[in-house]
Homo-oligomer: A and B are copies of this chain.
């Protein structure tokens, strides 16, 4: 069995190491903030050798990106309910739930902190956002294929995700179900950028 095959097999030692390392990163980001811990700290916290972390991820930035993407993909999968409205409501409710949890805030801060981590950090942030953007564009493409009027992906970033992110980061109020639904309503009822026609509500 090759290294790669072992890494892919669920439930083995490799999967346990990965889970322990991911949790160690999430904990350290929450406790100390990005930039205040090393690969050595992560390894010690996870109970594995430094070399195990370096061999698998190469750099701290690569590890941080892997944690962020995995967290998003696992905890906030893009829904496929059969309608754009259903998808958006489900997606927005999931994001609201996740970003108000302690891990969610840590991951949000990590993405932001990557911007100050030099070129490697900026590249890692780019990969993270590109992956999430690709998933969102898939949801919008399905809606367009059904003949639905879909907003731009950036509209979802600007008017559904950004308000929730900023409210959590600034500590402004809870993200109630009514508030989150109103954000979705607003995007669904806004005209597409560059077009003069109003979308169906």
Spell out A's residues near B (CB within 8 Å).
30, 32-36, 105, 109, 111-113, 115-116, 122, 125-126, 129, 154, 157-159, 161-163, 165-167, 169-173, 182-183, 186, 190, 193
Residues in B neighbouring A166, C-beta threshold 8 A: 157-158, 161-162, 165-166
Q: Is A159 a contact partner of B169 (Cβ separation < 8 A)?
A: no
CB-nearest residue of chain B relative to A173? B154
Q: Is the CB of B33 within 8 A of A116?
A: yes
Quickly give the copy total for this chain: 2
User: A138 CA to B112 CA in the complex, in Å?
Assistant: 31
CB distance from A83 to the nearest CB of B (A): 23
CA distance A16 to B165 in the complex (A): 37
18 contacts between A and B (CB under 8 A): A33-B113, A35-B35, A36-B36, A105-B115, A111-B169, A115-B169, A115-B170, A125-B170, A125-B171, A126-B171, A129-B171, A158-B159, A158-B163, A158-B183, A159-B159, A165-B166, A166-B166, A182-B193
A192 CA to B173 CA in the complex, in Å? 19
Smallest Cβ-Cβ distance to A158: which chain B residue: B163
Nearest B residue to A106 by beta-carbon distance?
B116
Residues on the B chain within 8 Å of A163, using CB: 157-159, 162
Q: Which residues of B contact A109 (CB under 8 A)?
A: 112, 115-116
User: A122 CB to closest chain B CB, in angstroms?
Assistant: 7
A172 with B116: in contact, given A33-B35, A158-B163 (CB under 8 Å)? no
From B32, B34, B36, B129, contact of A172 by CB (8 A): B129
> Do residues B129 and A170 form an inter-chain contact, with CB atoms below 8 A?
yes
**Closest CB-CB distance, A189 to chain B, in whole Å?**
9
For residue A169, which residue of chain B has the nearest CB?
Answer: B112
Alpha-carbon distance A167/B161, docked complex (angstroms):
11
